[in-house]
């Protein structure tokens, strides 16, 4: 049987699937998890648990070992053989007596939590396991990058930054397309140059791979030390990629996208046309997309409001000529960037 315990597996909340045949325990733990701000979905045996995992994409599964029909260990094996569910971390709920009947399945590679469950410990364990999983799945570009690394591989890293950041799903692709459209609108026709602009826009935040998830996902404002780390990401990108032939001419955006027209940006406080053209184009698009996107800490701003903000930053943060082109051609740019050609 399948239960919906908390309303909706939606938004960016962490979703936990609980599989346990003890219904009163199931409801109790689900209520505790919901109180600790997790979304909870649940099932009472293995088959429906697997179906729930496939359909609900939980971030983590909490599962009793001693289930009817299939043991928890067998369910875990089934989940690992399916590409949709194989990366979901599983934590077993154990009682003192579990080791008698199904001794064989116990392994030091599994994670266990003992019943009865203490809510504070449970929430802390879930967070630490999720953190470990995310970090383990992170690429290690410094170790992997060489002259043979493909652009697709770099794109995967850009997506993993987006995932890690968790605030910007879809942002990378949108800004790359809109930057290309704006570059064309400004009269850039050289295909090689356009290709470099596209690549650079796609990889603009790749230097964030060097920033810890704790800083990237910090719910409150960053302290001075954390801001220093954050401000380092354009330099990291440059240092990481400058020797790679495929990208050495595409680094103006990753390196200079936080510079400002008035010279108050970072990392090098460049001003005006000292800032490479590609970065001046990109920074308008980046801010436009950030303001019009919903993030966990803010609502999306309307397009009209956002265009007013962009206009107000002309000559301060942005190159006035680029802002003028962006605002004048805004509808056409969106069409070029996001719609199929007619």
Region binding Fe ion by CB under 5 A among candidate stretches 73-81, 95-103, 116-124, 283-291 = 283-291
CB of 173 to Fe ion, least distance (A): 11
Q: In what order do the strands lie in the sheet with 2-4?
A: 2-4, 39-43, 15-19, 60-64, 90-94, 111-114
CB of 174 to Fe ion, least distance (A): 10
CB of 95 to Fe ion, least distance (A): 48
Q: Which two tokens stand for residue 193?
A: 């140059």
CA dihedral 321, 324, 325, 329 (to 10 degrees): 180
15: CB partners within 8 A, 6+ apart: 9, 38, 39, 40, 41, 56, 57, 58, 59, 60
Distance of CA 89 to the CA centre of its chain: 18
Nearer to Fe ion, 126 or 178 (CB): 178
Region binding Fe ion by CB under 5 A among candidate stretches 26-34, 82-90, 278-286, 295-303 = 278-286
Strands (E), the chain: 2-4, 15-19, 39-43, 60-64, 90-94, 111-114
How far apart (Å, rounded) are the C-alpha atoms in residues 147 and 102? 50
Nearer to Fe ion, 64 or 286 (CB): 286
CB of 204 to Fe ion, least distance (A): 6
| 240 close to 207: Cβ distance less than 8 angstroms | yes
Catalytic residue among 127, 132, 199, 208: 208
Nearer to Fe ion, 71 or 293 (CB): 293
CB of 286 to Fe ion, least distance (A): 4
Nearer to Fe ion, 110 or 301 (CB): 301
Q: Which two tokens stand for residue 210?
A: 């060097």
By three-state DSSP, how is residue 14 classified? Answer: coil
Residues that contact Fe ion, how many (by CB under 5 A) = 2
How far apart (Å, rounded) are the C-alpha atoms in residues 319 and 277? 9
* Cα angle 93, 98, 99; round to 5: 120
Cα end-to-end distance, the chain, whole Å: 49
- Rule CB under 5 A: is residue 252 a binding residue for Fe ion? no
CB of 205 to Fe ion, least distance (A): 4
Q: What x-and-dash track marks residues 200-239 binding Fe ion by CB under 5 A?
A: -----x----------------------------------
- Rule CB under 5 A: is residue 259 a binding residue for Fe ion? no
Region binding Fe ion by CB under 5 A among candidate stretches 49-57, 134-142, 199-207, 263-271 = 199-207
Nearer to Fe ion, 286 or 319 (CB): 286
132 included as an active-site residue: no
CB of 134 to Fe ion, least distance (A): 20
Phi/psi of residue 331, each to 5°? -65, -45
Give the count of beta carbons closer than 10 Å to the beta carbon of residue 48: 15
Nearer to Fe ion, 75 or 176 (CB): 176
Nearer to Fe ion, 92 or 202 (CB): 202
- Rule CB under 5 A: is residue 286 a binding residue for Fe ion? yes
**Which residues bind to Fe ion, rule: CB under 5 A?**
205, 286
Catalytic residue numbers, as ranges: 208
């Amino acid at each position: 049987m399948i239960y919906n315990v908390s309303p909706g597996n939606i938004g960016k909340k962490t979703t936990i699937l609980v599989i346990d045949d003890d219904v009163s325990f199931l409801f109790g733990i689900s209520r505790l998890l919901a109180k600790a701000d997790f979304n909870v979905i649940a099932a009472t045996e293995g088959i429906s648990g697997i179906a729930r995992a496939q359909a609900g994409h939980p971030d983590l599964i909490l599962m009793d070992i001693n289930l009817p029909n299939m043991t928890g260990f067998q369910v875990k094996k089934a989940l690992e053989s399916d590409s949709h569910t194989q990366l979901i971390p599983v934590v077993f709920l154990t009682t003192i007596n579990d080791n008698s009947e199904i001794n064989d399945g116990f392994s030091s590679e599994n994670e266990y939590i003992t019943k009865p469950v203490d809510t504070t410990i449970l929430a802390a364990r879930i967070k630490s396991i999720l953190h470990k999983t995310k970090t383990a799945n992170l690429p290690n570009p410094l170790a992997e990058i060489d002259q043979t690394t493909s652009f697709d591989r770099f794109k995967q890293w850009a997506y993993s930054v987006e995932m890690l950041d968790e605030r910007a799903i879809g942002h990378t692709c949108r800004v790359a397309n809109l930057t290309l459209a704006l570059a064309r609108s400004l009269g850039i026709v050289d295909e090689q140059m356009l290709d470099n602009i596209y690549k650079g826009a796609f990889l603009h935040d790749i230097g964030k791979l060097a920033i810890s998830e704790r800083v990237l996902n910090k719910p409150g404002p960053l302290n001075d030390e954390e801001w220093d780390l954050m401000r380092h990401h354009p330099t990291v990108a440059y240092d990481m990629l400058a020797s790679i032939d495929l990208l050495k001419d595409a680094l103006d955006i990753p390196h200079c996208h936080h510079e400002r027209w008035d010279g108050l940006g970072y990392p090098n406080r460049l001003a005006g046309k000292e800032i490479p053209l590609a970065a001046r184009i990109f920074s308008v698009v980046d801010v436009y997309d950030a303001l019009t996107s919903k993030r966990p800490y803010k609502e999306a701003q309307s397009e009209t409001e956002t265009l007013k903000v962009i206009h107000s930053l002309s000559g301060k943060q942005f190159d006035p000529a680029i802002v003028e082109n962006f605002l004048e051609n805004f509808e056409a740019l969106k069409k070029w960037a996001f719609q199929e050609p007619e």
